[in-house]
Amino acid sequence: MRPTHENMEIVFLGTGGSWPTVERNVAAVAVKRGSEVLLFDCGEGTQRQFQRSRLSYMQVRAIFITHLHADHFLGVTGLVQTMRLNERREPLDIYGPPGTKDLMTMLLSIGKSRGQFKITITDVKGGAEIPFEGYTVTTREVRHSIYALGYALAEENRPGRFNKPRALELGVPEGRAFGQLQRGESVTLPDGRVVRPEDVLGPERRGRKVAYTGDCVPCEGTVDLAKDADVLIHESTYASDFADANTYGHSTAAQAAFIARTANAKRLFLTHISPRYTDARPLVEEARRVFPESYEARDLLEFIVKFPSDEDGPSAPEEPAPAPAA
Protein backbone atom coordinates (compact mmCIF):
# COMPACT_ATOMS: atom_id res chain seq x y z
CA MET A 1 0.00 0.00 0.00
CA ARG A 2 1.43 3.35 -1.05
CA PRO A 3 1.06 6.13 1.55
CA THR A 4 -0.91 9.16 0.36
CA HIS A 5 0.55 12.48 1.42
CA GLU A 6 -0.02 14.77 -1.57
CA ASN A 7 -1.92 17.98 -1.10
CA MET A 8 -5.22 18.14 -2.97
CA GLU A 9 -6.76 21.39 -4.15
CA ILE A 10 -9.83 22.11 -6.25
CA VAL A 11 -9.74 25.18 -8.49
CA PHE A 12 -12.94 26.13 -10.30
CA LEU A 13 -11.90 27.48 -13.70
CA GLY A 14 -15.40 27.75 -15.14
CA THR A 15 -18.69 27.62 -13.24
CA GLY A 16 -21.28 28.81 -15.76
CA GLY A 17 -23.66 26.91 -17.98
CA SER A 18 -24.27 27.08 -21.73
CA TRP A 19 -22.16 30.13 -22.67
CA PRO A 20 -19.56 32.40 -21.06
CA THR A 21 -20.66 35.52 -19.23
CA VAL A 22 -18.78 38.42 -17.67
CA GLU A 23 -18.95 36.68 -14.29
CA ARG A 24 -18.46 33.04 -15.29
CA ASN A 25 -16.63 31.00 -17.88
CA VAL A 26 -18.09 27.68 -18.99
CA ALA A 27 -17.45 24.30 -17.37
CA ALA A 28 -13.95 23.39 -16.19
CA VAL A 29 -12.85 22.08 -12.79
CA ALA A 30 -9.20 21.40 -11.98
CA VAL A 31 -8.09 19.09 -9.19
CA LYS A 32 -4.42 19.54 -8.30
CA ARG A 33 -2.95 16.58 -6.46
CA GLY A 34 0.72 16.88 -5.69
CA SER A 35 2.44 18.07 -8.86
CA GLU A 36 -0.21 16.96 -11.33
CA VAL A 37 -3.53 18.45 -12.40
CA LEU A 38 -6.63 16.55 -13.48
CA LEU A 39 -9.10 18.59 -15.50
CA PHE A 40 -12.80 17.74 -15.49
CA ASP A 41 -14.49 19.27 -18.54
CA CYS A 42 -12.80 21.91 -20.65
CA GLY A 43 -15.11 24.59 -21.95
CA GLU A 44 -13.97 27.30 -24.35
CA GLY A 45 -11.38 29.68 -22.94
CA THR A 46 -10.12 27.26 -20.29
CA GLN A 47 -6.47 27.97 -21.15
CA ARG A 48 -7.00 31.64 -20.28
CA GLN A 49 -8.66 30.66 -17.01
CA PHE A 50 -5.53 28.68 -16.18
CA GLN A 51 -3.48 31.82 -16.75
CA ARG A 52 -5.72 33.75 -14.37
CA SER A 53 -5.28 31.07 -11.70
CA ARG A 54 -2.23 29.87 -9.80
CA LEU A 55 -2.20 26.60 -11.75
CA SER A 56 -0.14 25.67 -14.79
CA TYR A 57 -1.86 24.12 -17.79
CA MET A 58 1.43 22.34 -18.50
CA GLN A 59 0.81 20.20 -15.37
CA VAL A 60 -2.46 18.78 -16.70
CA ARG A 61 -2.06 15.00 -16.57
CA ALA A 62 -5.49 14.03 -17.91
CA ILE A 63 -8.74 15.57 -19.12
CA PHE A 64 -12.11 13.98 -18.33
CA ILE A 65 -15.06 15.10 -20.47
CA THR A 66 -18.54 14.45 -19.12
CA HIS A 67 -20.52 14.74 -22.36
CA LEU A 68 -20.29 16.07 -25.87
CA HIS A 69 -22.04 19.39 -25.54
CA ALA A 70 -19.76 22.18 -26.77
CA ASP A 71 -19.59 24.12 -23.49
CA HIS A 72 -17.89 21.09 -21.93
CA PHE A 73 -15.24 20.21 -24.51
CA LEU A 74 -14.66 23.13 -26.89
CA GLY A 75 -11.65 24.38 -24.92
CA VAL A 76 -9.60 21.23 -25.47
CA THR A 77 -8.37 22.38 -28.89
CA GLY A 78 -7.08 25.71 -27.64
CA LEU A 79 -5.58 24.20 -24.52
CA VAL A 80 -3.67 21.54 -26.45
CA GLN A 81 -2.52 24.11 -29.02
CA THR A 82 -1.17 26.27 -26.18
CA MET A 83 0.67 23.24 -24.77
CA ARG A 84 2.17 22.54 -28.21
CA LEU A 85 3.34 26.12 -28.64
CA ASN A 86 5.03 25.88 -25.24
CA GLU A 87 6.80 22.70 -26.39
CA ARG A 88 5.22 20.28 -24.00
CA ARG A 89 6.82 16.83 -23.95
CA GLU A 90 4.80 14.91 -21.36
CA PRO A 91 1.94 12.71 -22.60
CA LEU A 92 -1.68 13.71 -22.11
CA ASP A 93 -4.66 11.40 -21.63
CA ILE A 94 -8.18 12.41 -22.62
CA TYR A 95 -11.23 10.42 -21.50
CA GLY A 96 -14.86 10.91 -22.43
CA PRO A 97 -18.10 9.19 -23.42
CA PRO A 98 -18.41 7.21 -26.67
CA GLY A 99 -17.66 9.48 -29.62
CA THR A 100 -14.96 11.44 -27.79
CA LYS A 101 -12.08 9.73 -29.58
CA ASP A 102 -13.41 10.48 -33.08
CA LEU A 103 -14.37 14.05 -32.20
CA MET A 104 -11.11 14.92 -30.42
CA THR A 105 -8.99 13.26 -33.12
CA MET A 106 -10.64 15.48 -35.71
CA LEU A 107 -10.44 18.67 -33.66
CA LEU A 108 -6.83 18.15 -32.58
CA SER A 109 -5.72 17.59 -36.15
CA ILE A 110 -6.43 21.27 -36.81
CA GLY A 111 -3.49 23.65 -36.63
CA LYS A 112 -0.78 21.19 -35.62
CA SER A 113 2.48 22.96 -34.89
CA ARG A 114 5.82 22.41 -33.25
CA GLY A 115 6.11 20.74 -29.88
CA GLN A 116 4.18 17.58 -30.66
CA PHE A 117 3.56 15.23 -27.71
CA LYS A 118 1.68 11.98 -27.27
CA ILE A 119 -2.07 12.31 -26.75
CA THR A 120 -4.10 9.21 -25.93
CA ILE A 121 -7.88 9.53 -26.31
CA THR A 122 -10.11 6.87 -24.76
CA ASP A 123 -13.88 6.39 -24.94
CA VAL A 124 -15.33 5.17 -21.63
CA LYS A 125 -18.76 4.25 -20.35
CA GLY A 126 -20.37 4.26 -16.94
CA GLY A 127 -18.76 1.78 -14.55
CA ALA A 128 -15.21 2.24 -15.84
CA GLU A 129 -12.31 2.43 -13.38
CA ILE A 130 -9.27 4.37 -14.55
CA PRO A 131 -6.24 3.65 -12.34
CA PHE A 132 -3.53 6.16 -11.50
CA GLU A 133 -0.72 6.00 -8.97
CA GLY A 134 -2.34 6.35 -5.56
CA TYR A 135 -5.92 6.88 -6.72
CA THR A 136 -8.61 5.77 -9.16
CA VAL A 137 -11.06 7.77 -11.26
CA THR A 138 -14.38 5.96 -11.64
CA THR A 139 -17.29 6.77 -13.94
CA ARG A 140 -21.04 6.47 -13.72
CA GLU A 141 -23.64 7.11 -16.37
CA VAL A 142 -25.86 10.05 -15.39
CA ARG A 143 -29.14 11.26 -16.86
CA HIS A 144 -28.90 14.17 -19.28
CA SER A 145 -30.29 15.02 -22.70
CA ILE A 146 -27.47 12.98 -24.31
CA TYR A 147 -25.23 10.18 -23.02
CA ALA A 148 -23.27 11.66 -20.13
CA LEU A 149 -20.84 10.61 -17.43
CA GLY A 150 -20.02 11.69 -13.91
CA TYR A 151 -16.58 11.11 -12.40
CA ALA A 152 -15.19 10.45 -8.93
CA LEU A 153 -11.56 10.63 -7.87
CA ALA A 154 -10.96 8.34 -4.89
CA GLU A 155 -7.59 7.88 -3.25
CA GLU A 156 -6.26 4.61 -1.93
CA ASN A 157 -6.53 4.02 1.80
CA ARG A 158 -3.76 5.42 3.97
CA PRO A 159 -1.87 3.48 6.63
CA GLY A 160 -3.23 3.75 10.15
CA ARG A 161 -1.75 6.12 12.70
CA PHE A 162 1.73 5.21 13.87
CA ASN A 163 1.95 4.17 17.53
CA LYS A 164 5.38 5.46 18.51
CA PRO A 165 5.28 4.32 22.16
CA ARG A 166 4.40 0.79 21.04
CA ALA A 167 7.22 0.79 18.48
CA LEU A 168 9.75 1.85 21.10
CA GLU A 169 8.39 -0.76 23.48
CA LEU A 170 9.02 -3.41 20.83
CA GLY A 171 12.62 -2.20 20.48
CA VAL A 172 12.32 -0.42 17.13
CA PRO A 173 15.00 2.30 16.89
CA GLU A 174 13.84 5.76 15.89
CA GLY A 175 14.70 6.94 12.41
CA ARG A 176 14.71 4.89 9.23
CA ALA A 177 12.91 1.91 10.77
CA PHE A 178 9.98 4.12 11.78
CA GLY A 179 9.62 5.25 8.18
CA GLN A 180 9.72 1.67 6.89
CA LEU A 181 6.89 0.63 9.17
CA GLN A 182 4.82 3.68 8.22
CA ARG A 183 5.27 2.72 4.56
CA GLY A 184 3.90 -0.75 5.25
CA GLU A 185 7.27 -2.55 5.37
CA SER A 186 8.34 -5.00 8.08
CA VAL A 187 11.51 -4.33 10.10
CA THR A 188 13.99 -6.94 11.32
CA LEU A 189 15.60 -5.99 14.63
CA PRO A 190 19.25 -6.79 15.53
CA ASP A 191 18.09 -9.71 17.72
CA GLY A 192 16.26 -11.27 14.75
CA ARG A 193 12.74 -10.37 15.80
CA VAL A 194 10.47 -9.07 13.04
CA VAL A 195 8.14 -6.15 13.70
CA ARG A 196 5.29 -5.93 11.21
CA PRO A 197 3.41 -2.77 10.28
CA GLU A 198 0.21 -4.09 11.86
CA ASP A 199 2.07 -4.31 15.19
CA VAL A 200 2.46 -0.54 15.37
CA LEU A 201 -0.17 0.91 13.03
CA GLY A 202 -3.82 1.53 13.74
CA PRO A 203 -6.67 0.72 11.32
CA GLU A 204 -6.35 1.96 7.75
CA ARG A 205 -7.69 5.44 7.11
CA ARG A 206 -9.56 6.20 3.93
CA GLY A 207 -8.23 8.62 1.37
CA ARG A 208 -10.03 11.64 0.00
CA LYS A 209 -12.83 11.54 -2.54
CA VAL A 210 -14.08 14.22 -4.93
CA ALA A 211 -17.12 13.63 -7.16
CA TYR A 212 -18.16 15.68 -10.20
CA THR A 213 -21.53 15.10 -11.85
CA GLY A 214 -21.34 17.11 -15.05
CA ASP A 215 -24.79 17.98 -16.43
CA CYS A 216 -27.61 15.78 -15.16
CA VAL A 217 -30.94 15.41 -13.47
CA PRO A 218 -31.06 13.61 -10.10
CA CYS A 219 -30.46 9.89 -10.57
CA GLU A 220 -29.03 6.81 -8.88
CA GLY A 221 -25.77 7.26 -10.76
CA THR A 222 -25.00 10.56 -9.03
CA VAL A 223 -25.85 9.16 -5.59
CA ASP A 224 -23.57 6.19 -6.18
CA LEU A 225 -20.80 8.44 -7.52
CA ALA A 226 -21.01 10.83 -4.56
CA LYS A 227 -21.30 8.25 -1.78
CA ASP A 228 -19.28 9.47 1.24
CA ALA A 229 -17.47 12.05 -0.90
CA ASP A 230 -15.49 14.75 0.87
CA VAL A 231 -16.56 17.13 -1.89
CA LEU A 232 -19.47 16.79 -4.33
CA ILE A 233 -19.44 19.20 -7.28
CA HIS A 234 -22.97 19.06 -8.62
CA GLU A 235 -24.60 21.01 -11.42
CA SER A 236 -27.35 23.33 -10.23
CA THR A 237 -28.30 25.19 -13.35
CA TYR A 238 -31.56 26.57 -12.01
CA ALA A 239 -33.46 27.49 -8.87
CA SER A 240 -36.60 25.53 -8.04
CA ASP A 241 -38.88 28.22 -9.46
CA PHE A 242 -37.81 27.17 -12.98
CA ALA A 243 -40.28 24.39 -13.66
CA ASP A 244 -38.58 23.04 -16.81
CA ALA A 245 -35.17 22.37 -15.23
CA ASN A 246 -35.44 18.58 -15.48
CA THR A 247 -37.04 18.78 -18.91
CA TYR A 248 -33.81 20.32 -20.19
CA GLY A 249 -31.71 17.67 -18.47
CA HIS A 250 -30.57 19.84 -15.57
CA SER A 251 -30.93 19.95 -11.79
CA THR A 252 -32.08 22.64 -9.40
CA ALA A 253 -29.99 23.71 -6.44
CA ALA A 254 -32.39 21.95 -4.05
CA GLN A 255 -32.09 18.72 -6.03
CA ALA A 256 -28.29 18.93 -5.94
CA ALA A 257 -28.52 19.37 -2.17
CA PHE A 258 -30.81 16.35 -1.91
CA ILE A 259 -28.23 14.24 -3.75
CA ALA A 260 -25.49 15.46 -1.40
CA ARG A 261 -27.58 14.61 1.65
CA THR A 262 -28.62 11.21 0.31
CA ALA A 263 -25.03 10.31 -0.63
CA ASN A 264 -23.66 11.39 2.76
CA ALA A 265 -21.27 13.85 1.13
CA LYS A 266 -19.38 16.25 3.37
CA ARG A 267 -19.59 19.39 1.23
CA LEU A 268 -21.48 20.47 -1.87
CA PHE A 269 -20.39 23.00 -4.46
CA LEU A 270 -23.08 24.30 -6.82
CA THR A 271 -21.81 24.85 -10.35
CA HIS A 272 -22.99 25.18 -13.97
CA ILE A 273 -25.04 28.21 -12.95
CA SER A 274 -27.38 29.44 -15.69
CA PRO A 275 -26.58 32.86 -17.23
CA ARG A 276 -30.04 33.96 -16.05
CA TYR A 277 -28.55 34.29 -12.51
CA THR A 278 -26.15 37.17 -12.02
CA ASP A 279 -26.60 36.61 -8.29
CA ALA A 280 -26.48 32.95 -7.22
CA ARG A 281 -27.37 33.57 -3.59
CA PRO A 282 -30.97 32.33 -4.03
CA LEU A 283 -29.60 28.99 -5.28
CA VAL A 284 -27.28 28.67 -2.29
CA GLU A 285 -30.06 29.57 0.12
CA GLU A 286 -32.43 26.94 -1.26
CA ALA A 287 -29.66 24.32 -1.24
CA ARG A 288 -28.75 25.06 2.38
CA ARG A 289 -32.32 24.45 3.48
CA VAL A 290 -31.76 20.86 2.39
CA PHE A 291 -28.01 20.46 2.94
CA PRO A 292 -26.35 23.12 5.14
CA GLU A 293 -22.81 22.55 3.80
CA SER A 294 -23.66 23.95 0.37
CA TYR A 295 -21.50 26.57 -1.33
CA GLU A 296 -21.50 28.51 -4.57
CA ALA A 297 -18.68 27.62 -6.94
CA ARG A 298 -17.27 30.80 -8.48
CA ASP A 299 -14.61 31.21 -11.13
CA LEU A 300 -11.11 30.94 -9.62
CA LEU A 301 -12.45 29.77 -6.27
CA GLU A 302 -9.89 27.54 -4.54
CA PHE A 303 -10.60 24.85 -1.98
CA ILE A 304 -8.13 22.55 -0.22
CA VAL A 305 -9.45 19.03 0.39
CA LYS A 306 -8.13 17.79 3.71
CA PHE A 307 -7.72 14.18 4.75
CA PRO A 308 -10.91 13.01 6.49
CA SER A 309 -9.20 12.33 9.82
CA ASP A 310 -7.50 15.75 9.73
CA GLU A 311 -10.80 17.63 9.69
CA ASP A 312 -11.84 19.61 12.73
CA GLY A 313 -15.24 20.16 11.16
CA PRO A 314 -16.77 21.68 8.04
CA SER A 315 -15.19 24.91 6.87
CA ALA A 316 -16.12 27.47 4.24
CA PRO A 317 -14.08 27.62 1.03
CA GLU A 318 -11.47 30.30 0.57
CA GLU A 319 -12.16 33.35 -1.54
CA PRO A 320 -10.56 33.19 -4.97
CA ALA A 321 -7.25 34.97 -5.39
CA PRO A 322 -7.59 38.30 -7.25
CA ALA A 323 -7.17 37.94 -10.99
CA PRO A 324 -4.09 39.66 -12.40
CA ALA A 325 -4.66 42.86 -14.29
CA ALA A 326 -5.27 42.46 -17.99
23-54 tens-digit pLDDT: 999 999 999 999 999 999 999 999 999 999 99
Please compute the mean of the pLDDT values over residues 272-281 and round it to a whole number.
95
**What's the pTM?**
0.87
214-226 tens-digit pLDDT: 999 999 999 999 9
pLDDT, residue 268, reads 98
Please compute the mean of the pLDDT values over residues 235-246 and round it to a whole number.
93
Is the pLDDT at 309 greater than 70? The verdict is no
Annotated catalytic residue 279: no
- Which has the higher per-residue pLDDT, 157 or 128? 128
Among the listed residues 41, 71, 215, 299, the single catalytic one is: 71
User: Percentage of residues in the chain with pLDDT exceeding 70?
Assistant: 91
Highest mean pLDDT among 54-63, 240-249, 304-313: 54-63
Please compute the mean of the pLDDT values over residues 151-176 and round it to a whole number.
91
Is the pLDDT at 111 greater than 70? The verdict is no
Please compute the mean of the pLDDT values over residues 101-125 and round it to a whole number.
88
pLDDT, residue 316, reads 54
Three-state SS sequence of the chain: CCCCCCCEEEEEEECECCCCCCCCCECEEEEEECCEEEEECCCCCHHHHHHHCCCCHHHEEEEECCCCCHHHHCHHHHHHHHHHHCCCCCCEEEEECCCHHHHHHHHHCCCCCCCCCCEEEEECCCCCEEEECCEEEEEEEEECCCCEEEEEEEECCECCCECHHHHHHCCCCCCHHHHHHHCCCCEECCCCCEECHHHHECCCECCCEEEECCCCECCHHHHHHHCCCCEEEEECCECCCCCCCCCCCCCEHHHHHHHHHHCCCCCEEEECECCCCCCCHHHHHHHHCCCCCEEECCCCCEEECCCHHHCCCCCCCECCCCCCCC
pLDDT, residue 321, reads 47
Protein fold of 8-158+206-310 = Metallo-beta-lactamase; Chain A (3.60.15)
Please compute the mean of the pLDDT values over residues 248-260 and round it to a whole number.
97
Domain ranges of the chain: 8-158+206-310, 164-200
